[in-house]
A and B are shown apart, each in its own frame.
Chain A
Amino acid sequence: MDRRRFLQGVTATLSMAALARMRAFATAPADTRKAATGRAGLTPAQWQVIAAVQAHLLPSEPEAPGAKDANALEYLMFMLGETHTDPMERALIRDGVERLERIVRKQGVDTFTRLDAAGRETALRTLEKQPEGRTWIIMLLDYLFEALLADPVYGSNPGGIGWKWLEFHPGYRQPPPDKRFFLL
């Protein structure tokens, strides 16, 4: 699915508060915006939550790479910080982490990373029942697929690890660093 079309569906399901935050964010002067977004406006603890969610959604196995093998966290950090990225995406990612953490606290634990595998599954399945939560999980899955299957020039899929796993052949010519999409 095309990302913009997907995001359009997302806005329909966002809470009013989140929408208000996004609007404030989108209209902030450029310098404020830059300051607010350092690493997309997520705290180190929130990034740890995302790393744990990524590992749960795409675990590493000896014969089949997972999120960590694909450098998925670094990829997401890079893409969210990239200037072409729609500010709405950053807001959506933060909103989802906050939703997940609220669910986790209701489970009696202070943060997602302290849950065991079963607890993480329960929390994510609960989040999935919220339309906004489901959308967030799909966004994370899409970023995982990008990290696993985009050209290694973007810093993920090291050595074509995802391509080799799924028997994909990249074709001629692969992009050199100066031809990455945001430099064209």
Chain B
Amino acid sequence: MNTDYDICVIGSGAGGGPIAWRLAEAGYSVLVLEKGPWFREADLCKDELACCRRPTYIPDQREEPRVVETEDDDGNWRARSTRRSGWNFWNGTCVGGATNFMSGYFHRLKPVDFHLRSTFGPIEGANVVDWPISYDELEPYYTLVEREVGISGRIQPHPHLEPRSTPNLPYPPLREHRLAAHVDRACHALGLQPFPTPRAILPHPAMGRSGCAYNGGLCGSSGCSTGAKGSSRAALLDRAVTTRRCEIRPHSMVKRLLSGPDGKVSAVEYFDAKGRLQRVDAQIYVVACQAIESARLLLRSPGPRHPHGLANGSGQVGRNLLFAGGGAGSGRLLYRRFSGKEADALREFGTFINRSLQEWYIIDDSQFGPKSKGGTIDFVHRHPAPIARAHHQIEGEHGLLWGKPLKRRLEQHFREGPYIKIEAFCDWLPVADCFVGLDPTVKDKWGLPVARIRTGQHVQNLRVGWYLAEKGAEVLRKMGAENVVAFAASTPPTNLVAGTCRFGNDPATSVLDHECRAHEAENLFVSDGSFMPTGGSVPYTWTIYANAFRIADAIDRQLHQMT
């Protein structure tokens, strides 16, 4: 078959990068269509205005809004456009996608995550199912990611450590902040086993990338200026391009995937940087636009065999949207409680805490209830973003604070000691009221219907989130931290999204097969986090990377058979 490219990948984040690099390396021609711009390392700076206060790395919501439905106190769903709201669920629209702006706290899933339903039984009100593959099938790809994306750290045995085919991570740990020793001491006093958090950050130059510049907590939300962070761009796409078989076209917004009478995808139509409609074809098409946009693209791509959207005969496209459930908390160590030398050590700003606890990955606690899936606790720096932090100091007891009282509050907040934050991750259970559809009226600047996102969640997320956050808070209190708070929020955190095209063996209840090929279109794959039927109790990125490498092998086999 004579096509423009062997493989066309739509989206360039954690789901797109591995496919592009592996298959270009294997000798195939690959086209990557990315709707956003292509920022190079020189463009990415530590700039709070750029990262966090202006829409630099995400679309302008006046041009590309979404509609978000939230539940009010009476159980009604209230829809609101993101045109004027900051709660927009975009995480980085550019070459490399959201991986440019991740913190890179990397954890594998555990074997139990692949069969939650058979281990813990059904949960009322949740669509929990087992995965069609086991941990063993993904393990070699987790290891591949460690090497090729670059994961640093030190493997330390603990009760829930997953099986590994190699004894340790390929890159040594990043330098640690003094707070790590405080976390360790408190955990050991409580009989807990903390371990160094694996990070997708290179501690030293490798693979043509530089090592970490040590910006402490500034990495999250900001792009990396050295290439140390294992973004899809720095770690994979830059290498894919050097094969000369991979072409990346930024500013390319895919309008739809076309399909023929046989159900297979036949071409892609996209708007180029000048808004002109272009068409390209390939033998294999890979959708990797992050879960919300991937579902939106399939839903707006009906065809002769796909009347309800591409690969949506089951009606499952867009269903079972997942976020990362969990809780959070914080506390603070005051310099004045420590000797001069120790206080000086605590003042150091560039290094990382990098400590995690997975003691409660499974909660076996009669006070909580029957044995349940729990999660992960990470101990991290509070994001240093000073403008945002100053904003949070303006509420006084009798109105807004300003003048000298505000200045004294700012001094107290910023100068008296480091904060330490808990991030707890638990499963966001898949439920009927958490999904993506097409909005019937709101269109983006290309005239395409925007995503409409319903954000329902299961009460179990909150129960587990509270449980974990409180466990983390105990550690903070043991450290001698002050002002310790812990909570679980009912609104979804929007930086991690998955689900919407779950994989499975039954075409009636899943969109993709066990290799993430569409049941209804054999030349279509979805390689971002959309495939996940359940999310696990960790950030998803490592798993998305690993699974995308697995899909690349499946595509290689399929193309091999075709020729």
Contacts and interface: CB of A to CB of B under 8 A. Distances in A.
Nearest to A149: B386
A4 B86 contact: yes
Interface string A1-20: 11111111001000000000
A66 B407 CA distance: 9
Interface residues of B, number: 49
Most-contacted residue by chain B among A57, A163, A182 (CB, 10 A): A57
26 contacts: A2-B86, A4-B86, A8-B84, A8-B85, A57-B402, A58-B406, A61-B407, A64-B407, A124-B402, A137-B402, A138-B394, A141-B402, A149-B387, A149-B390, A151-B45, A166-B414, A167-B414, A168-B386, A169-B384, A170-B46, A171-B216, A172-B226, A174-B46, A174-B47, A180-B47, A181-B56
A168 B87 CA distance: 27
Given A170-B46, A172-B226, A134 B400 contact: yes
B505 interface: no
Interface string A26-49: 000000000000000000000000
A168 B215 contact: no
Interface of A: 1-8, 11, 56-59, 61, 64, 66, 84, 86, 121, 124-125, 128, 134, 137-138, 141-142, 145-146, 148-151, 154, 162-163, 165-176, 179-182, 184
The list of the 5 closest CB pairs from A to B, nearest first, reads: A2-B86, A5-B86, A171-B215, A181-B50, A171-B46
Contacts of A7: 84
A84 B37 CA distance: 17
Contacts of B85: 4-5, 8
Given A8-B86, A174-B46, 4 more contacts: A148-B390, A150-B49, A154-B49, A171-B216
A52 to B, nearest CB: 13
A146 B387 contact: yes
Given A146-B53, A149-B48, A181-B50, A171 B86 contact: no
B404 interface: yes
Nearest to B37: A184
Nearest to A153: B47
B391 A151 contact: no
Interface in B405-452: 406-407, 410-411, 414-415
Contacts of B62: 86
Given A58-B406, A128-B400, A168 B84 contact: no
B218 interface: yes
A173 B223 CA distance: 10
Contacts of B350: 169, 171
Interface of B: 37, 39, 42-43, 45-50, 53-56, 61-62, 82, 84-88, 213-216, 218, 225-226, 349-350, 384, 386-388, 390-391, 394, 399-400, 402-404, 406-407, 410-411, 414-415
Contacts of B54: 3, 84, 181-182
B400 A141 contact: yes
Nearest to A85: B54
A4 B84 contact: yes
B45 A175 contact: yes
B400 A138 contact: yes
B43 A184 contact: yes
Nearest to B50: A181
Contacts of B50: 175, 180-181, 184
A25 to B, nearest CB: 15
Contacts of B37: 184
Contacts of B407: 58-59, 61, 64, 66
Nearest to A134: B400
Given A145-B391, A150-B49, A184-B50, A168 B402 contact: no
Nearest to B60: A84
A64 to B, nearest CB: 5
Nearest to B41: A173
Contact of B47 (A121, A148, A175): A175
A9 to B, nearest CB: 9
Contacts of A170: 46
A28 B274 CA distance: 25
